[in-house]
Amino acid sequence: MSDFHQQAINPQGGIATQPQPQTIQQPVAIPHGDRRQEIQRISAELFRQNPDWVTFFREILGIEGIIRRLFTNPDEMDAFEQSEEYAQIQAMVAKLRERSKHQTESNEPTRVITVRLPKSLHESLRAEAHHRRTSMNQLCISKLLQIIGNELVPSD
C-alpha cells in the first residue's frame, strides 16, 4: 500500500475499486537543505504511481501540499519556486496533464472563474491556443500553473 493512497473496503468485504486519496503526512522538522530533497523524493514517488494531475497537484503543490507545509516562510517558498527541483515538479505536472487526455480525470470538483480581459489579449490567447493545437482552457490552465514574480503582479 502506498503512502498516498489507502485501499477502501466495500461493504461486501472486498477492496473498493477506487483508491481513496490520503493526505501526505507532514514530516517532522527537516533542515532547509534537506527539505528540497524530501520534496523531490516524495514528488518522484507519487509521479511513479501515475496519479491524475489534479491529485499530484493537490498533494505536492496545493494549499495543503507538501511544498507549502515544508516552506511556510514566504521568502523560502519564493526561493524554492526558483529552484531546479521546482522546475522538475512543474515538468511532472505537465507530463501528467498530457497523460490525462487519455485517462479519466480526478474526482475533484472543478470551479469556474470569470476573467475580464481586453479583446486583444483574448485574441492573442485564442491564436496561441490554435497554434499549439490545444484548447483555450488547457492553455489558460497551463499559464495559471506557472509562477510569476511579484514585480509582474500589479497591486490593487
For residue 121 the three cell numbers come to 489579449
Place of cell 524530501: 38
**Within a domain: residue 135?**
no
State how far the Cα of 40 lies from the Cα of 151, in Å rounded to an integer. 28
- Structure confidence at residue 119 (pLDDT): 95
Helices (H), the chain: 32-48, 53-56, 66-70, 74-81, 84-100, 119-131, 136-144
Residue 7 — very low, low, confident or very high, per pLDDT cuts 50/70/90?
very low
Q: Are the beta carbons of 67 and 61 closer than 8 angstroms?
A: yes
Q: How far is CA 47 from CA 3, 52, 118, in A?
A: 12, 9, 38
Of residues 27 and 125, more confidence is placed in: 125
List, in order, residues 6 or more apart from 108 with CB less than 8 Å away. 54, 55, 58
Residue 105 — very low, low, confident or very high, per pLDDT cuts 50/70/90?
low
**Within a domain: residue 91?**
yes
- Structure confidence at residue 139 (pLDDT): 94
Q: Are the beta carbons of 24 and 64 closer than 8 angstroms?
A: no
Of all residues in the chain, what percent carry a pLDDT higher than 70? 76
- Structure confidence at residue 6 (pLDDT): 37
Residue 152 — very low, low, confident or very high, per pLDDT cuts 50/70/90?
confident
**Within a domain: residue 93?**
yes
Q: Please give the tally of structural domains in the chain.
A: 1
- Structure confidence at residue 106 (pLDDT): 66
**Within a domain: residue 129?**
no
Neighbours of 150 (CB within 10 A): 8
- Please say if the pLDDT value at position 103 is more than 70: no
| Average pLDDT score, the chain | 82
Of residues 103 and 77, more confidence is placed in: 77
pLDDT per residue as tens digits for the range 15-70: 344 444 444 555 456 766 699 999 999 999 999 999 999 999 999 999 999 999 99
- Structure confidence at residue 3 (pLDDT): 45
Burial class (CB in 10 A: 0-12, 13-18, 19+), 96: buried
State how far the Cα of 19 lies from the Cα of 49, in Å rounded to an integer. 12
**Within a domain: residue 155?**
no
State how far the Cα of 122 lies from the Cα of 100, in Å rounded to an integer. 26
**Within a domain: residue 38?**
yes
- Structure confidence at residue 1 (pLDDT): 36
**Within a domain: residue 28?**
yes
The range of the structural domain enclosing residue 33 comes to 5-110
